[in-house]
């Protein structure tokens, strides 16, 4: 799939989003909206725009990092500290369905757009915001960053090997999760607005999003009052589960229940182990992990990873190879699912980015726009607002756009 | 906040969801819908219901693991292999807005509900599904499990210390991310349906969701053709960043740009380091990590973690403590954000669960129902469908419900 194939309208066709966000957490969210057909106007500072434009690998003056988070948006430069800039934003909001921001709490209010003003002036507008810790509470005005959210959510405390320090996840998962949460919350508010006519203010935070991801580990902590330990690749509640040594590498095997454990032992030709009282049920297997691991490894190390993956999958046992990102994007399933797509960036050529994880049959996601150059659509968007050509030129000369 | 305080209507008030999902990935999604006011009917097998009911810590016969993923749902037991069960499901779907399932691809079709039938028979229905790898492509019928999705998405390849093996994240992040993606996709489809009257089929998979989370690491790979390395708690592109040794423990510090680095060095009273050409910009600092780490640690180890957290936050530098889950839920900000709430489970007492990460001002999330006992609402739901009392009793006797 490339951006030169014109996609049909997405689910959010007709929804206009004013996007004041930068870096990752907001832009990933508004990109999700744009992927599904919303019209997203990304507002950037005239001087240098989103800081992501100068981060990561910049090829021919264009950051592929920026492209990864900003397809399906048009770019309007606007100096939001100027009165003229604020007046343009006001006109845009008057015609918009959604406003998204990821400033620190209070920054938007200082620009004159506190919650009361937003609700009063644009009653149909759905306002979305992402911040570090939520906009109330003792840390609401602390600066935030993914690493800190990972540390304070309890995620790092359970991530990593037992004998190493608490470990962050490499992708900025708190930013990504917050983006998904906000995209959901915005759409939920839009569903209500379609019925009631009323907008809303939707908020999520990096830290709250990750806390909600702690799921069953939180449940275990609440039930036992014992803090879950870091267990590396071992599952704290299930065995067998983990990476096993095959002849030429490791294979990930994860039977999730007794039936699948039976299938695994059958596929390994070691169904006899089920008669061993040390391995009769999950609790026994957890207590005798090392012994069972030895029995399983003895068999598994006799064959190659690819042989096991084929054999075990045929037997209905979840298993797979640990991929590098290169192997992920070379995998035939990942390719069949189009999880790498190319943006047609005109003179800059094709820029690959990750594909659409949410697939709709009747109104599928698509590439409606490649990632924009800074201010690429300023003139076009102002024209659509009814601003005269000379006025646009004058605003440009004054540095407002 | 407890479930005894009656919340107002949420954003999805009036949306009826038929929930055929079990374990984590589906139930977490339908719980998000229920949190925001949708009416969720969880359909479970009469024999034992969702397998989560017998997993994790079971207190007074009730699994707190199950409670974590199933508040805001009513439970209807139904034997979907029986013709009577199928007929009840058909009547429910005729009045429903959303159907969610997380069977392996093809299982729903075998029950007579293939995509054509669903679209033809219930044209306004939005169907949501989560599976392991997507419902097309060479691995579509493979069994799936979070661990395998983590392995094949490339996530494990970058997670963990440089000198250890590729590492899974402890929470089942592929299940959680898929749930969030599906909740978003379902609501996006509902927005369209409010306008067009047409339903849709929305799909996401454990693996595709995690691939989309690889974000800037994928961008770096695409731009350089080099596979990102595991870097543990170090950021592959920014320095300073990481865990630093204070007098009584470690502090996470993450200045995300030059301005914040200046603030950090100012707060450490080492602004002089900026004049050192080894540390003049991020590229130099990356090349001279060890030297800079030594300079910073020399200062940081002179004071306690809590002193630094207060001092650095006041200076506008993102920083925090690495929490255990206990510390997370004891933190005053997490409490102010109500990220732990109690379900009032009647005779079973109060069961704590994680709170709502998505906060709406006009139509907030709330606890409309605690987590249901197996089949707790079977009679009530069938009555609402207009099934006669004797018929319900007979169905129960026949094991259909």
ipTM greater than 0.95: yes
Cβ of residue A262 closer than 8 Å to a chain B Cβ:
no
Residue B86 forms part of a structural domain: yes
Tokens of B6: 């009656």
Query: For residue A270, what is the domain's CATH number?
Result: 3.30.1540.10
pLDDT at B2 over 50: no
Of A313, A330, A347, the position where a domain reaches its end is: A330
The 3-class SS string of A98-139 reads EEEECCCCCHHHHCCCCHHHHHHHCCCCEEEEEECCCCCCCC
Domain shared by B157 and B118, yes or no: yes
> Which of the pair, B360 or A7, is modelled with greater confidence?
B360
* Cα–Cα distance, B286 to B66 (Å, whole number): 46
Cβ of residue A267 closer than 8 Å to a chain B Cβ:
no
pLDDT in tens, B101-148: 999 899 999 999 999 999 999 999 999 999 999 999 999 999 889 999
* Cα–Cα distance, B72 to A324 (Å, whole number): 39
Query: For residue A236, what pLDDT is reported?
Result: 86
Of A302, A330, A358, the position where a domain reaches its end is: A330
10-residue mean pLDDT profile of chain A (401 residues): values are 66 98 97 98 97 92 97 98 96 98 93 96 98 96 93 96 93 97 98 96 98 96 95 90 96 93 97 95 94 97 97 96 97 98 96 98 97 98 97 96 95
Taking the CA of residue B7 and the nearest CA in chain A, the distance in Å comes to 16
Helix H or strand E segment including B359 = strand B359-360
Domain shared by B57 and B159, yes or no: yes
Residue B9 forms part of a structural domain: no
Residue A234 forms part of a structural domain: no
Q: Check CB contact under 8 Å for A320 and B151.
A: yes
Q: Check CB contact under 8 Å for A252 and B355.
A: no
Instruction: Please name the residues between 85 and 144 in chain B that touch chain A, using a CB distance below 8 Å.
Output: 115, 132-134, 136-140, 142-144
Residue B6 forms part of a structural domain: no
Query: For residue B7, what pLDDT is reported?
Result: 83
Domain shared by A368 and A268, yes or no: no
Residue A90 forms part of a structural domain: yes
Verdict on whether the full-model pTM lies above 0.95: yes
Domain shared by B188 and B299, yes or no: no
Q: Check CB contact under 8 Å for B159 and A180.
A: no
Q: Range of A300's domain? A: 242-330
* Cα–Cα distance, B30 to B297 (Å, whole number): 47
Domain shared by A191 and A304, yes or no: no
Query: For residue B84, what is the domain's CATH number?
Result: 3.40.50.10540
Residues in B touching A212 (Cβ below 8 Å): 176, 339, 354-357
Summarize the confidence of residues B82-107 as an average pLDDT: 96
Nearest CA to A189 out of B12, B198, B31 is that of B12
Residue A264 contacts residue A253 (beta carbons within 8 Å):
yes
pLDDT at B314 over 80: yes
Q: Which residue has the tokens 């999003």?
A: A209
Catalytic residue among B175, B225, B290, B344: B175
Domain shared by B246 and B142, yes or no: no
Query: For residue B6, what pLDDT is reported?
Result: 72
Domain shared by B20 and B161, yes or no: yes
Residue A228 forms part of a structural domain: no
Helix H or strand E segment including B216 = helix B215-224
Domain shared by A287 and A350, yes or no: no
Is B175 catalytic? The answer is yes
Residue A36 forms part of a structural domain: yes
* Cα–Cα distance, B36 to B9 (Å, whole number): 8
For residue B182, what is the nearest residue in chain A, using CA coordinates?
A: A358
Tokens of A117: 């003003």
Chosen for mutation from A212, A239, A263 (greatest number of chain B CBs closer than 10 Å) is A212
Number of domains in chain A: 2
Domain shared by A148 and A45, yes or no: yes
Of B279, B301, B330, the position where a domain reaches its end is: B330
A98-101 and A242-246: which strand pairing? unpaired
Omega before residue B240 within 30° of 0, cis = yes
pLDDT in tens, B241-276: 999 999 999 999 999 889 999 999 999 999 999 999
Residue A7 forms part of a structural domain: no
A319-321 and A39-44: which strand pairing? unpaired
Tokens of A192: 């209500």
Taking the CA of residue A343 and the nearest CA in chain B, the distance in Å comes to 12
pLDDT in tens, B221-231: 999 999 999 99
Cβ of residue A71 closer than 8 Å to a chain B Cβ:
no
Taking the CA of residue A100 and the nearest CA in chain B, the distance in Å comes to 14
Domain shared by B125 and B162, yes or no: yes
Q: Is B222 helix (H, G, I), strand (E, B) or coil?
A: helix
Taking the CA of residue B45 and the nearest CA in chain A, the distance in Å comes to 17
Q: Which of the four pLDDT bands, split at 50, 70 and 90, describes residue B299?
A: very high
Q: Which residue has the tokens 């379900």?
A: B343
For residue B160, what is the nearest residue in chain A, using CA coordinates?
A: A160
Neighbouring residues of B347: CB distance < 8 A, sequence distance ≥ 6: none
Cβ of residue B315 closer than 8 Å to a chain A Cβ:
no
* Cα–Cα distance, A36 to A73 (Å, whole number): 12
The 3-class SS string of chain A reads CECCCCCCCCCCCCCEEEECCCCCHHHHHHHHHHHCCCEEEEEECCCCCCHHHHCCCEECCEEHHHHHHHCCCEEEECCCCCHHHHHHHHHHHHCCCEEEECCCCCHHHHCCCCHHHHHHHCCCCEEEEEECCCCCCCCCCCCCCHHHHHHHCCHHHHCCCCCCCCCCCCCCHHHHHHHHHHHHHHHHHHHHHHHHCCCEEEEEEHHHHHHHHCHHHHHHHHHHCCCCCCCCCCCCCCCCCEEEEECCEEEEECCCCHHHHHHHHHHCCCHHHHHCHHHCCHHHHHHCHHHHHHHHHHHHCCCCHHHHHHHHHHCCCCEEECCCHHHHHHCHHHHHCCCEEEEECHHHCEEEEECCCCEECCCCCCCCCCCCCCCCCHHHHHHHCCCCHHHHHHHHHCCCC
Domain shared by B122 and B250, yes or no: no
Tokens of B38: 């949708």
Q: Which of the four pLDDT bands, split at 50, 70 and 90, describes residue B5?
A: low
Domain shared by A125 and A192, yes or no: yes
């Amino acid at each position: 799939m490339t951006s030169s194939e014109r996609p049909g309208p997405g689910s959010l066709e007709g929804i206009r989003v004013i996007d004041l966000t930068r870096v990752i957490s907001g832009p990933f969210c508004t990109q999700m909206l744009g992927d599904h057909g919303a019209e997203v106007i990304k507002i950037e500072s005239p001087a240098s725009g989103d800081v992501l434009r100068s981060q990561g690998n910049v090829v021919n003056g264009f950051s592929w990092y920026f492209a990864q988070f900003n397809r399906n948006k048009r770019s309007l430069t606007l100096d939001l500290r100027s009165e003229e800039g604020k007046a343009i934003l006001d006109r845009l909001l008057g015609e918009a369905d959604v406003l998204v921001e990821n400033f620190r709490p209070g920054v938007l209010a200082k620009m004159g757009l506190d919650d009361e003003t937003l609700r009063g002036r644009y009653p149909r507008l759905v306002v979305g915001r992402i911040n570090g810790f939520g906009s109330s509470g003792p840390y609401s005005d602390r600066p935030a960053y993914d690493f800190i959210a990972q540390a304070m959510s309890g995620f790092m405390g359970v991530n990593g090997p037992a004998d190493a320090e608490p470990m962050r996840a490499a992708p900025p998962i708190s930013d990504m999760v917050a983006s998904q949460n906000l995209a959901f919350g915005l759409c939920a508010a839009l569903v209500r607005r379609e019925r009631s006519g009323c907008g809303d203010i939707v908020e999520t935070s990096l830290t709250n999003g990750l806390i909600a991801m702690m799921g069953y580990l939180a449940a275990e902590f609440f039930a036992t009052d014992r803090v879950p330990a870091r267990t590396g690749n071992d599952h704290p509640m299930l065995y067998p589960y983990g990476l096993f040594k095959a002849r030429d590498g490791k294979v990930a095997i994860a039977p999730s229940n007794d039936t699948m454990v039976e299938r695994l032992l059958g596929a390994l030709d070691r169904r006899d182990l089920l008669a061993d009282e040390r391995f009769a049920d999950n609790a026994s297997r957890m207590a005798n992990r090392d012994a069972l691991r030895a029995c399983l490894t003895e068999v598994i190390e006799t064959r190659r990873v690819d042989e096991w993956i084929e054999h075990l999958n045929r037997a209905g046992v979840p298993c797979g190879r640990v991929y590098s990102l290169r192997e992920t994007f070379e995998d035939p399933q990942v390719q069949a699912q189009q999880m790498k797509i190319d943006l047609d960036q005109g003179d800059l050529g094709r820029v690959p980015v990750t594909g659409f994880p949410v697939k709709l049959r009747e109104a599928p996601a698509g590439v409606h726009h490649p990632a924009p150059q800074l201010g690429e659509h300023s003139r076009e968007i102002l024209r659509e607002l009814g601003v005269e050509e000379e006025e646009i030129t004058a605003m440009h000369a004054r540095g407002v756009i």
